[in-house]
Amino acid sequence: MRRFSWFNATALTLGFVFLYLPMVILVIYSFNASKLVTVWAGFSTRWYGELMRNEAFLDAALVTLKVGIVSSTLATVLGTMGAYVMIRAGRFTGRTLFSGMIYAPLVMPEVITGLSLLLLFIGIGLDRGIVTIILAHTTFSMCYVSVVVSSRLVSFDRSLEEAALDLGASPFEAFRLVTLPIIAPAVISGWLLAFTLSLDDLVIASFTAGPSSTTLPIKIFSAVRLGVSPEINALSTIMISIVTVGVIGASLVSKRAAVKRQEEERAAVRT
Amino acid sequence: MPQKVFAPWDDPQEKPLIQFKNVTKRFGSFTAIDNLNLDIFEREFFALLGPSGCGKTTLMRMLAGFETPTEGTIQLSGKDIGGVPPNQRAVNMMFQSYALFPHLSVWENIAFGLKREGKDKGAIETRVSEMMRLTRLEKFRNRKPHQLSGGQRQRVALARSLAKAPKLLLLDEPLGALDRKLREETQFELMDIQEKTGTTFVIVTHDQEEAMTVASRVAVMDEGKLVQVATPDRIYEGPNSVYVADFIGDVNIIEGRAHQTGDKVQVIWSESEPPLMATTQKNFSLDQKCYMAIRPEKVGISADRPTAANALKGKILDIAYLGNISTYHVELPSGHVIKAQEANTRRIARRHFTWEDEVWISWTDTAAVLLEQ
Ligand SMILES: Nc1ncnc2c1ncn2[C@@H]1O[C@H](COP(=O)(O)OP(=O)(O)OP(=O)(O)O)[C@@H](O)[C@H]1O
Ligand SMILES: [Mg+2]
């Protein structure tokens, strides 16, 4: 057995306190009965009830959900296609440049992405609203999907596709019937990642949202500027839960399925 | 009516099914296939033999359409197939790595190709069942590949490639993981299938006995080149080089200088020993370097001096007992070690030679093959 070390225990505790204390406080205060945020007046779920009757928040939540689902689906399709083409294209001149260009938006400051998208939408005369948020979210989250999917494709045995072609499948059938089912876990976790990113995003959404369509993060941010209300705490708690479930789900799906599939694949191929 | 011997390669009228014309395949600067010319005829069972990395798989992959020749053309039934994608070729391949679909069951794996043809359910079911019976996989119908043993996977791969009954079937080491009995049975099944369906087989194997059993012709490859292409008996009895003689079966090679008179050649091979005698159809110039290749089973072993054209005295160095036969390694005074094989027709206790015994080894002047290289 490993020996207990005070140093490790302290470091671990400090780290986790640093990470999670703010959120824990927020969650606790969301169950506060008092209207004053900083004064504890006993346990209550009152603010969750209030929240459910608040039309503006519900609208924003609906927009966020729609944007999240549509944009992450689009991002998954585009990101998977991008990853597939990059991995399958083999070597060509400028390959590093191209793959770099797929991943560059990952490190691009969000403000710049948001601003450039805003300029684009104004330039082509597209009215800001839910469509523009969807487009913007698709743009930035497809890079993440493509990173996740291409890391799976790298270890994908090419001869499986060749076998499908050899048996008379068209290239598209080979992709649909062989490649896609095998890389599905990576695609699903890519989707969950894109969905979570879209749910979280404030900066890009505030550049591309219009007056008729605000997402939840924007709504919270503007409400907080007028003072923190316990309702916001309740809403934030709900969002924390959704994101947590999403992230844990994504990692579970990808881990477990990837391990299983890889075992299967290794076993199906003679070493 | 005498039965016609199957030998389309000897008939200039016959059109080959597959024709490699000056095919070269390079990977970067590495030449995997080097200016190769080859005709394979319909209904042939063509075996490719060669050391690891000599380009057997590459040759197959060009036929299946996964690699395009760097130079030269490949024709199938007289048509250049350079631009035909793999899914439109009437060719199926069994991959050396099996490449089974890990997410599909045994049944679905075998049915994959049939479903792509758009056959109706009943026909697919019948065909898949037939294939599973053939490869003894009925019990594993619903298993996934990772739940099978190595040999079972190999049989799934074989069944999957056979299912579509293609015009040309490429088998890359199809039987390597099977036990001897099952391998022999499957070999006969393959020959049977071929007889019934008229499919042309190209098969890669590391097992030369297998190549000898099933093949109509055998090709020996080395570093991307064909060294010899001939029927199994011709390649065994009349190899064209030391490389082939050594690759196919066991052989003794004695290096010497040739002194030819007519079809008789005296091979000067040792300072102290008399020359060896051989016959040949080839022409050797005086003192040309030559190699005498003689199969161990053609070398006799005896206690007294025999009357054969070539007789040498030596000492038994080693005996390898193989059950039905024994191989005696006999060391000559010159230092050469010659292998001689004898059938074990008597029980082991009655055998009369043992280690260190002085014996005579001998062979006739027609038993050996003289090679230039
Ligand atoms: N895609 C490739 N890129 C570079 N080199 C390759 C490629 N494919 C094959 N080669 C090389 O070409 C040569 C022939 O390979 P091939 O797979 O045809 O060998 P093989 O005769 O089938 O060997 P084995 O008996 O081990 O299966 C090898 O030296 C191999 O390294
Ligand atoms: Mg090979």
* pLDDT more than 90, % of chain A: 30
Whole-number Å distance between alpha carbons of B168 and B280? 39
Strands B168-172 and B91-94: parallel
Are A264 and B150 a contacting pair at CB < 8 A? Answer: no
Whole-number Å distance between alpha carbons of B244 and B240? 7
Q: What is the pTM (predicted TM-score) of this model?
A: 0.81
Per-residue burial over A200-231, b = 16 or more CB atoms within 10 Å of its CB, e = otherwise: bbebbbbbbbeeebbbbbbbbeebeeeebbbb
**SS3 helix, strand, coil % of chain A, rounded to 5?**
80, 0, 20
pLDDT averages per 10-residue partition of chain B, 373 residues: 71 87 93 93 92 92 92 91 89 92 94 92 94 90 90 91 91 87 86 84 89 90 92 90 90 90 86 85 87 91 86 89 87 89 73 81 89 86
Cβ atoms of B183 and B215 closer than 8 Å: no
Are A268 and B145 a contacting pair at CB < 8 A? Answer: yes
Are A157 and B97 a contacting pair at CB < 8 A? Answer: yes
Sheet with B358-363, strands from edge to edge, namely B300-302, B358-363, B310-321, B325-331, B337-343
Collect all residues of chain A within an 8 Å Cβ-Cβ radius of residue B117.
168
From A270, A234, A243, select the one nearest A52 (Cα to Cα): A234
Res. A167 pLDDT band, cuts 50 70 90: very high
Per-residue model confidence (pLDDT) at position B209: 85
Per-residue model confidence (pLDDT) at position B348: 60
Each residue's pLDDT tens digit, A3-21: 778 888 899 999 989 888 9
Q: Which of B 205-234 lie inside 8 A of A, CB atoms?
A: none
Six token digits for residue A192? 């969950």
Whole-number Å distance between alpha carbons of A269 and A266? 5
Atom of ligand 1 nearest to the CA of B54: 21
Per-residue model confidence (pLDDT) at position B351: 63
Residue A260, pLDDT > 80, answer no
Per-residue model confidence (pLDDT) at position B70: 94
Q: What is the mean pLDDT of residues A149-170?
A: 91
Are A160 and B150 a contacting pair at CB < 8 A? Answer: no
DSSP readout, A117-165?
HHHHHHHTTPPPSHHHHHHHHHHHHHHHHHHHHHHHHHTS-HHHHHHHH
Residue of A203 and B193 predicted with greater confidence: A203
Res. A267 pLDDT band, cuts 50 70 90: low
> A248 — alpha (psi -120 to 50), left (phi > 0) or beta?
alpha
From B100, B165, B102, B155, select the one nearest B133 (Cα to Cα): B155
**Which of B65, B97, B116 shows the shortest C-beta gap to A270?**
B97
Measured by CA distance, the residue closest to atom 8 of ligand 1 is B58
Q: Which domains does chain A have, with CATH numbers?
A: 55-230 (1.10.3720.10)
**Number of residues that make up chain B:** 373
Cβ atoms of A25 and A12 closer than 8 Å: no
Six token digits for residue A156? 């994908």
Q: Which residues pair with B27 in a beta bridge?
A: B30
Place of tokens 């590391």: B206
Whole-number Å distance between alpha carbons of B129 and B133? 6
Whole-number Å distance between alpha carbons of B327 and B341? 4
Res. A266 pLDDT band, cuts 50 70 90: low
Whole-number Å distance between alpha carbons of A219 and A242? 17
Collect all residues of chain B within an 8 Å Cβ-Cβ radius of residue A164.
101, 112
Res. A128 pLDDT band, cuts 50 70 90: confident
Q: How far is B174 from chain A (nearest CA, A)?
A: 12
Q: Ligand 1: does its nearest atom lie under 6 Å from the Cβ of B31?
A: no
Each residue's pLDDT tens digit, A47-101: 888 888 888 888 888 899 999 999 999 999 999 998 998 888 777 777 788 878 8
Sheet with B30-40, strands from edge to edge, namely B30-40, B18-27, B71-76, B79-80
Q: Kindly report each contact of residues A44-50 with a partner whose C-beta sits within 8 Å and lies 24 or more positions away, as own/partner.
A: A46/A230, A47/A230, A47/A231, A47/A233, A47/A234, A48/A234, A48/A238, A50/A231, A50/A234
B369 alpha-carbon distance from chain centroid: 20
Per-residue model confidence (pLDDT) at position A271: 45
Whole-number Å distance between alpha carbons of B335 and A143? 72
Per-residue model confidence (pLDDT) at position B349: 55
| Cα B151 to averaged position of ligand 2 atoms, centre (Å) | 18
From A148, A138, A249, select the one nearest A201 (Cα to Cα): A138
Per-residue model confidence (pLDDT) at position B1: 45
Whole-number Å distance between alpha carbons of B34 and B52? 16
Contact A176/B at CB under 8 A? no
Each residue's pLDDT tens digit, A22-45: 888 888 888 888 877 778 888 888
Collect all residues of chain A within an 8 Å Cβ-Cβ radius of residue B204.
none
Whole-number Å distance between alpha carbons of B212 and B196? 21
> Phi, psi (5° rounding) for residue B89?
-95, 140
Give the containing element (helix H, strand E) for B268: strand B264-268
Name the burial class of residue A38, with classes exposed (0-12), middle (13-18) and buried (19+) by CB atoms within 10 angstroms of its CB. exposed
Per-residue model confidence (pLDDT) at position B116: 92
**Which of B87, B102, B117 shows the shortest C-beta gap to A265?**
B102
* pLDDT more than 70, % of chain A: 96
Cβ atoms of B101 and B112 closer than 8 Å: yes
